[in-house]
Amino acid sequence: MTGLITRRRLLHGAVVGIAGAVLLLVAFMVSDGLASLGLPGGGFAAYLVLLGRAVGAVTGLELFGFRFVWYSLATGALIGIVGPLVGIFIVHREMALIGETLAHTAFAGVAGGLLVGSATGWSAPLLVSALVAAVIGALAVEWLAEHAAAYGDVPIAIMLTGSFALGTIIISWGGGFSGLNIEAFLFGNISFVPVDGAWLMVVVSAVVLAAVGSRYKQLLYVTFDEQAARVARLNVAGYNRLLIVLTAMVVVGSMQVLGVILVAAMLVVPTAAASQVATSFREAIYLAVLVGETSVVAGILIGYGYGIPAGGTIVLIAIGWYVLAVLLADRGISLSTRSAS
Amino acid sequence: MSTVAAARNVTFSYGDTVAIEDVTLEVESGEFLGLIGPNGSGKTTLLHLLLGLKEPDSGSVELFGEPVAAFEDGHRIGYVAQQATQKGSTMPVTVEEVVEMGRYPHRGAERLTDDDRTIVRDAMSRVDVDDLRDRRINALSGGQRQRAYIARALASEADLLALDEPTVGVDAESRDRFYGLLDELNDEGIAIVLIEHDIGVVTDRAERIACVNRELYHHGDTESFVESDALERAYGATGTVVHHHH
């Protein structure tokens, strides 16, 4: 019993630490944003960059002396929280592929946004068109699931490939939109998370945290026992829709770093790892955030340090955690005996 | 005596296949109703109709005197589904977290209060799962798991407990204990609707029997059911009757 309590304290401490680090990074963004608007309050960001340079001078690790690295880290740190937070419900609803599907829908949205932008000269931010497309895709999948009576993988596969197909056609139709690197959307591009992209992630994270924070109980009930939740008169269809729209938002926010192709990993892998060893649902959330956060931050830093793609690095680190969790669970570390009977 | 759940002339089809035809039945408060019928006879469908999980093609359903669509007091019903949540097999949820779900309909978006936690603890000790509270639900045996679900219904302070073959895969001893618990709860005034393939269990315990095979073959007290030929008619020539007397 004391072991359980110590374990809870440790986890709690780690989560508080993560929250602190994320707040620091967001504070950097706020401060830097104020400075760029010519308002007072930019001192904090400038101080952090200076500190980063000093660290660079001493250790040779120059990363933290660059503003854009701070933006990347802030975006990544938020992904490391909200990805697993939404993912844990998605995975246990057995909708793991929904993230992948919505990412491809979002890709079609990016393509559509580019087309509209080049045709009208009105450059709607591409992430916004991606968000619109992903949310429409999310509701379409939900509608299909309701009318096809299950989250069959067939409607999901059709949606996934269909929207990607549409995206590729729009892009070739629009003929080499000048200056835009489609690869950045496919594989993510951590070395340049635009400032507005980072802010989009802040907004997405605030919405996700508020929604999951205030509807945690209902989401848990609906995820664990949908029929009993319906008997208890919870608005199951409404919570399904909420969950899938939150997923769409997280997917679009995370796409900048991980890319369309890898974005589902942040929804699925940390949860899968945490569920192997967690003793309760709450603990699974903490562990999943821990896995997500360490993977993203380490992935970004290693990606910069060695000039390798951050998205791929992040995903491989997370999978490393997963393998470790499987091994630990196998050795009975999870405290919850796996079968009592 | 007030009516807890009532179906009037209810018909329901899956596509062209009629599953339930013109069934009228009610569950009185505090009664123990056994719902029996052969495999594929529509027992589960009928229960789902009664609980509002399915909408009838025709006819009407009332819960606690209200039309089922307008019924909001979800906490008044405890429901244990057939092979209750296989989900438990991978999802890391503890017994305590499951039992707490019984309080969710009372609280909406608010946090659980100390009172809620007391009620949850009492419910767990009532069915003897308090020692298991920190265990993952999927780590429990079938009998323990069913008791945890009953604790969830107790925590929600349900007036109606609906159980769909709750003891499939549960060993004989745990099963007897489980049914003993149901008897106790029924004595305390909780209405019970039990779907069970073992007719002996039902006739031993239920005050009234509803015997269904698409249509309702019998709806009345257990004695008249045992004396009638409703069972033979409902099960027909093909059905297998499971008798299991204690």
How far is residue B222's CA from residue B205's CA, in Å, rounded to a whole number? 9
Cβ contacts of A230 on chain B, cutoff 8 Å = 52-53
CB contact (8 A) between residue A233 and residue B72: yes
Please give the share of chain A, as a percent, with pLDDT higher than 90. 33
What's the DSSP call for residue A172? H
A340, pLDDT greater than 50: no
Position B49: which residue type?
Answer: L
Question: Can you tell me the ipTM of this complex?
Answer: 0.88
CB-based contact, A224 to chain B, within 8 Å: yes
pLDDT at site A338 = 43
| Nearest CA-CA distance, residue A123 and chain B, Å | 40
How far is residue A207's CA from residue A205's CA, in Å, rounded to a whole number? 5
CB contact (8 A) between residue B141 and residue A341: yes
**B205: number of Cβ within 10 Å:** 19
Identify the residue with better confidence: A285 or B165: A285
In this complex, how many residue pairs, one in chain A and one in chain B, have their CB atoms less than 8 Å apart?
110
| Residue in A231, A239, A336 to test binding to B, most B beta-carbons within 10 Å | A231
Pull the structure tokens for residue A91.
Answer: 């995975």
pLDDT at site A180 = 61
Domain B3-88+159-235 maps to which CATH number in 3.40.50.10190, 3.40.50.1820, 1.10.3720.10, 3.40.50.300? 3.40.50.300
Q: Residue B198: what are its φ and ψ, rounded to 5°?
A: -90, 100
Cβ contacts of A284 on chain B, cutoff 8 Å = 92
CB contact (8 A) between residue B81 and residue A227: yes
DSSP B75-115: GGEEEE-TT--GGGGTS--BHHHHHHGGGHHHHTTSPP-HH
How far, CA to CA in Å, does B208 sit from each of A139, A179, B103, B202? 46, 77, 30, 9
- Using only C-alpha atoms, chain B has a radius of gyration, in whole angstroms, of 18
Q: What mean pLDDT comes out for the span A253-282? A: 89
Q: At A145, is the pLDDT very low, low, confident or very high (cuts 50, 70, 90)?
A: confident
A271, pLDDT greater than 90: yes
CB contact (8 A) between residue A278 and residue B135: no
* Poorest-pLDDT segment among A94-98, A246-250, B32-36: A94-98
Nearest to B135 by CA among A276, A275, A336: A336
Cβ contacts of B85 on chain A, cutoff 8 Å = 224-225, 228
Q: Rounded to 5, what percent of chain B is helix, strand, coil? A: 40, 30, 30
Nearest CA in chain A to B156: A232
Identify the residue with better confidence: B245 or A117: A117
A8, pLDDT greater than 70: yes
pLDDT at site B165 = 87
Q: Hey, where are the domains in chain B?
A: 3-88+159-235
CB contact (8 A) between residue A281 and residue B93: yes
| Residue in A90, A225, A286, A333 to test binding to B, most B beta-carbons within 10 Å | A225
CB contact (8 A) between residue B92 and residue A337: no
Please give the share of chain A, as a percent, with pLDDT higher than 70. 90
CB-based contact, A257 to chain B, within 8 Å: no
pLDDT at site B241 = 56
Identify the residue with better confidence: A3 or B239: A3
Q: What mean pLDDT comes out for the span A204-232? A: 93
Q: At A152, is the pLDDT very low, low, confident or very high (cuts 50, 70, 90)?
A: low
Nearest to A140 by CA among A44, A244, A8, A66: A244
Spans of chain B below 50 pLDDT:
85, 237-239, 246
CB-based contact, A2 to chain B, within 8 Å: no
A173, pLDDT greater than 90: no
Q: What mean pLDDT comes out for the span A64-85? A: 90
Q: What mean pLDDT comes out for the span A127-145? A: 83
| Nearest CA-CA distance, residue A4 and chain B, Å | 9
CB contact (8 A) between residue B135 and residue A233: no
Q: Residue B163: what are its φ and ψ, rounded to 5°?
A: -125, 130
| Nearest CA-CA distance, residue A151 and chain B, Å | 15
| Residue in A217, A271, A335 to test binding to B, most B beta-carbons within 10 Å | A217
What is residue A16's three-state secondary structure? helix
| Nearest CA-CA distance, residue B238 and chain A, Å | 31
A218, pLDDT greater than 80: yes
CB-based contact, A274 to chain B, within 8 Å: yes
Q: What mean pLDDT comes out for the span A13-21? A: 91
pLDDT at site A1 = 56
Position A202: which residue type?
Answer: V
Q: What mean pLDDT comes out for the span A308-325? A: 93
Identify the residue with better confidence: A235 or A172: A235
CB contact (8 A) between residue B141 and residue A279: no
Identify the residue with better confidence: B201 or A79: A79
CB-based contact, A271 to chain B, within 8 Å: no
Q: At A122, is the pLDDT very low, low, confident or very high (cuts 50, 70, 90)?
A: low
**Where is mean pLDDT largest: A28-32, A120-124, A332-336, B218-222?**
A28-32
Task: Please state at what angle helix A195-224 crosses helix A67-92, rounded to 10 degrees.
Answer: 20
Cβ contacts of B162 on chain A, cutoff 8 Å = 231
pLDDT at site A20 = 93
Q: At A266, is the pLDDT very low, low, confident or very high (cuts 50, 70, 90)?
A: very high
Answer for the pair B1, B29: CB distance below 8 angstroms, yes or no. Answer: yes
Cβ contacts of B135 on chain A, cutoff 8 Å = 336-337, 340
What's the DSSP call for residue B133? T
Nearest CA in chain A to B163: A228
CB contact (8 A) between residue B92 and residue A231: no
CB contact (8 A) between residue B135 and residue A221: no
Strand B77-80 relative to strand B66-67, pairing: unpaired
